[in-house]
Chain A
Amino acid sequence: MSGLFTKELRSRRTSALAFCAAIFGFVVLYISIFPTFQKQSASFGKIFASLPKGFSENLGVGLNTFTNVQNFLSVELFAIIWPLIAIIVSVSTAGSSIAGEVEKGTMGTLLSLPLGRAKIFWTKYLVGVLIIAAFVTSSLIAAMPLASLLGLTYDVSAFLLTALMCAVFALCVYSYAFLLSSVFNEKSRVYALAGGTLMLMYVVNLVSSLINDLHFLRFGSVFYYFTARQTLALGHINTANLAILIIPVIVFSVTGYIVFNRKDIAV
């Protein structure tokens, strides 16, 4: 177990560090420019107030956007950049874990060793979970000492609750991609299908928030339940949304294991 675990960590070390460094760079950037925006918060607030309601809701902007660092990060970081990089981290890690090894043929090496499919699957899954934890830590947990360095006030519980929401969202995407990785033998198919599904969900969530008659569609989108911006801005987590995001984590990971355990692997 430890040999495989070390091997998995080692093989993903470079990409994981790159993603963590990238998101940390964005956090440093946004926190360092926040004081400048804070000074002009009143004029920005008027501009945001004039936007259509659905549009401003999706962007998460409003009168209080630049009043504190949490609101600022919730808009600047969590509108697009954080979810986008988190999705790339999750899907790429999952895709290369199973489908990538089957495609390269190295899965045959692992299967020829006395490891068992359960160990192979769950060790690989666990390494992805740790990468996601490191990614969330590099963004949300690392933001707090950075804010302290600049003398900014912040709500610790808001950051911690947002970290929890973000981790569960990333795990949800990761588990879905991991299931696809167990099903398919080429990682490009995992990337295409996972990316396509998430893009469709994003569009559904956006369109349904703008058109009243289509409001019901947003319940089918993972982005509807991903309320990290509100959690960070308000310091309150929507436990129902969190619970709904946890369900696919369990369902997709267990289904992925069943598929991997039963499938023929011609390597």
Chain B
Amino acid sequence: MDAIVVSDVSKRFGSNQALNKVNLTVPVGEIYGFLGPNGAGKTTTIRCLMDFLRPDSGNIEVFGNNARTQATEVKKFLGYLPADMQLYDKWTAAEHIAFYESVQGIAVDAEKLIKQLDLNLTTEARHLSSGNKQKLGMVLAMMRRPKLLVLDEPTRGLDPLLQEIIYTLLREYRDAGGTVFISSHNLAEVEKICDHVGIIRAGEVVASESIDAIRQMNSHIVTIRFTKPFKPADFKADNITVMHKTDLQLICKVKGDLNPLLKKLAAHPVKDLEITHASLEDAFMEYYAS
């Protein structure tokens, strides 16, 4: 059984088609990064998953439960952190934790998380910095060890040290069998911690692959240094895009099979050759350019 299965979900706000037949599957025990720029439909998808918004059509299942008709059941094993965590101004972190416990039962990991995140329990929420609010949000989402974590841009506005702590927490949680669905537009972050990635563009999921596959399936960046000047025309091919060239150097992006380029290279005196996988950013930009 998959952790999340989104099937043909559409949502329209007036004339704006926010989601158009979105399909994606989040495997159990993985960190799934949901990528897209602002307004692409990431938060709308998450709000539909959380039953805040009701899709016009389609279906969302969380561990086999319908996210709409069994929303209360789903939220028993789900931890959620919104992009902009809103807290009760006059409550302290301890009071927020106590309220959550009164609704959903004892938080087995609360103390551990408070310690790991160095959370101040006694300051009223209105006096907390955005980083501390986010820390509290992470504690509230994770403290009762849910089966699934849904995080909407969890590290937005956080300093690198705190970001690293959160990445560690998420990896530990994943290694303990938990599943994470994380939306982000921070490509480096997704590349760093995610096992799977889905890319949404204008309300449509344009890719949903493992992070390795998404790198492999697209392109390589090839840097060639020659011992004497070369003719760029010799390297003209459908799957080769020249990114930069000098008399003795050529940097190009090769989409798909590398062999045609290597065959062409055999006829030239090469001083040095460097082949790297295109980054997630390259893949992401490619999806958005197409």
Contacts of B87 in A (CB 8 A): 106, 109
Asked whether B104 lies within 8 Å of A266 as measured between CB atoms, the reply is no
Which residues of A, 215-267, contact B by the 8 Å Cβ criterion?
262, 264-267
Contacts of B72 in A (CB 8 A): 114-116
Contacts of A262 in B (CB 8 A): 54
**Nearest Cβ in chain A — how far from B126, in angstroms?**
11
A262 CA / B55 CA spacing, docked (Å): 11
- Of A3, A11, A108, which is within 8 A of B103 by CB? A3
B277 in contact (CB, < 8 A):
no
Contacts of B76 in A (CB 8 A): 114
Asked whether B75 lies within 8 Å of A106 as measured between CB atoms, the reply is no
Asked whether A266 lies within 8 Å of B53 as measured between CB atoms, the reply is yes
Asked whether B54 lies within 8 Å of A113 as measured between CB atoms, the reply is no
Asked whether B103 lies within 8 Å of A115 as measured between CB atoms, the reply is yes
- Of B52, B80, B86, B100, which is within 8 A of A264 by CB? B52
Contacts of B187 in A (CB 8 A): none
- A111 touching B52 in the complex, CB below 8 Å, given contacts A3-B99, A3-B103: yes
B47 in contact (CB, < 8 A):
yes
A6 CA / B98 CA spacing, docked (Å): 11
Which interface class (under 10, 10 to 19, 20 to 34, 35 or more) fits B? 20 to 34
- Smallest Cβ-Cβ distance to A4: which chain B residue: B103
Asked whether A104 lies within 8 Å of B86 as measured between CB atoms, the reply is yes
A4 CA / B104 CA spacing, docked (Å): 11
Contacts of B103 in A (CB 8 A): 3-4, 113-115
**Nearest Cβ in chain B — how far from A46, in angstroms?**
55
Asked whether A265 lies within 8 Å of B53 as measured between CB atoms, the reply is yes
Asked whether A108 lies within 8 Å of B54 as measured between CB atoms, the reply is no
A2 CA / B103 CA spacing, docked (Å): 8
Asked whether B52 lies within 8 Å of A113 as measured between CB atoms, the reply is no
B39-79 CB contact bits vs A (8 Å, 1 = yes)? Answer: 00000000100111110000000000000000111011010
- Smallest Cβ-Cβ distance to A265: which chain B residue: B52
Contacts of A4 in B (CB 8 A): 103
B287 in contact (CB, < 8 A):
no
A50 in contact (CB, < 8 A):
no
Contacts of B288 in A (CB 8 A): none
**Nearest Cβ in chain B — how far from A267, in angstroms?**
6
Contacts of B47 in A (CB 8 A): 266
- A11 touching B88 in the complex, CB below 8 Å, given contacts A113-B100, A114-B72, A114-B76: yes
- A113 touching B104 in the complex, CB below 8 Å, given contacts A264-B53, A265-B53: yes
B102 in contact (CB, < 8 A):
yes
A141-156 CB contact bits vs B (8 Å, 1 = yes)? Answer: 0000000000000000
Contacts of B29 in A (CB 8 A): none
- A3 touching B102 in the complex, CB below 8 Å, given contacts A106-B88, A266-B52: yes
A262 CA / B78 CA spacing, docked (Å): 22
B84 in contact (CB, < 8 A):
yes
Contacts of B73 in A (CB 8 A): 114
**Nearest Cβ in chain A — how far from B157, in angstroms?**
16
- Smallest Cβ-Cβ distance to B11: which chain A residue: A264
- A106 touching B53 in the complex, CB below 8 Å, given contacts A3-B103, A114-B103, A115-B103: no
A264 CA / B53 CA spacing, docked (Å): 4
Contacts of A115 in B (CB 8 A): 72, 75, 103
A228 CA / B104 CA spacing, docked (Å): 44
**Nearest Cβ in chain A — how far from B234, in angstroms?**
56
A113 CA / B75 CA spacing, docked (Å): 6
Contacts of B71 in A (CB 8 A): 116
**Nearest Cβ in chain A — how far from B39, in angstroms?**
14
Asked whether B52 lies within 8 Å of A109 as measured between CB atoms, the reply is no
Asked whether B86 lies within 8 Å of A109 as measured between CB atoms, the reply is yes
A7 in contact (CB, < 8 A):
yes
Contacts of A196 in B (CB 8 A): none
Asked whether A7 lies within 8 Å of B99 as measured between CB atoms, the reply is yes
Asked whether B54 lies within 8 Å of A111 as measured between CB atoms, the reply is no
B185-199 CB contact bits vs A (8 Å, 1 = yes)? Answer: 000000000000000
The 8 nearest A-B residue pairs measured at CB: A3-B102, A105-B86, A114-B75, A112-B80, A116-B72, A3-B103, A114-B76, A264-B53
19 A-B pairs within 8 Å (CB atoms) are namely A2-B102, A3-B102, A3-B103, A6-B102, A11-B88, A104-B86, A105-B84, A108-B82, A109-B88, A111-B52, A112-B80, A112-B82, A113-B75, A114-B75, A115-B75, A264-B53, A265-B52, A266-B47, A266-B52
Query: B-side interface residues toward A, CB under 8 Å?
Result: 47, 50-54, 71-73, 75-76, 78, 80, 82, 84, 86-88, 99-104
Q: A109-B87, A114-B104 are in contact. List 17 more A-B contacts (CB 8 A).
A: A3-B101, A6-B102, A11-B88, A104-B86, A106-B86, A108-B82, A113-B100, A114-B75, A115-B75, A116-B72, A262-B54, A264-B52, A264-B53, A264-B54, A265-B52, A266-B53, A267-B52
